[in-house]
A and B are shown apart, each in its own frame.
Chain A
């Protein structure tokens, strides 16, 4: 089991550019989560999917953020246009229900300059 795979590990981009973060969940997991981690705000849940359907996107900070899950093995988080305050570590996690816990990827460190 390769775990939850996120790419890229690091991303540096200029303000105004589009950024796409990618996640491959563990095979068989039916829930997928996107979190953002910053020193100031800690771990924030942005959005989560169940069986590829977005269930709760109330944590998505602005319309500049969007997420998709076109199939059970792939999800993207897109920021367009990016701003310096979007700089953070973005984590993807997957699981099969809260009684099992969730497995996190290694994260994508995004820096917007």
Chain B
């Protein structure tokens, strides 16, 4: 069964610094992988997805993620953090054989002025 582990429930970075949010997955078949963002009191919004095309995926708001099969990782990065990036970020996996998407426990990103 597929699963996702997000390392660090809270991450703090300074404004302008690199953002790195870590995600490792477990899947018995080539997975679909997703990053979602949740702002306070809102639903989840899709940031980007990996669907077996290019391993480096670009998303909205300057975020990108790289699929590394050998490391079973799908880490999310952004070169320069903005205050508006403060939110909770969820990594998710789907095996594609059915429609289920399983989410990690989330990482709350704090941006320091």
Spell out A's residues near B (CB within 8 Å). 4, 31, 33, 35, 42-43, 45, 48, 50, 55-56, 91, 93, 95, 97-99, 101-107
Contact = CB atoms under 8 A, between A and B. Distances in A.
B17 interface: no
Given A91-B43, A98-B96, A103-B46, 9 more contacts: A45-B101, A45-B102, A45-B103, A50-B98, A98-B32, A99-B32, A102-B101, A104-B44, A107-B43
A99 B96 contact: yes
A35 to B, nearest CB: 8
Contacts of B32: 98-99
A94 B6 CA distance: 24
Contacts of B106: 42-43
B58 interface: no
A56 B106 CA distance: 23
Given A42-B106, A91-B43, A107-B43, A101 B49 contact: yes
B105 A42 contact: yes
A86 B32 CA distance: 31
Interface in B24-51: 32, 34, 36, 42-46, 49, 51
A48 B45 CA distance: 19
Contacts of B102: 45
Nearest to A50: B99
A46 B43 CA distance: 16
A104 B103 contact: no
Contacts of A55: 98-99
Given A42-B105, A42-B106, A43-B106, A97 B43 contact: no
Contacts of B101: 33, 45, 98, 102
A93 B94 CA distance: 15
Nearest to B44: A104
Contacts of B51: 98-99
Given A48-B100, A91-B43, A104-B44, A98 B94 contact: yes
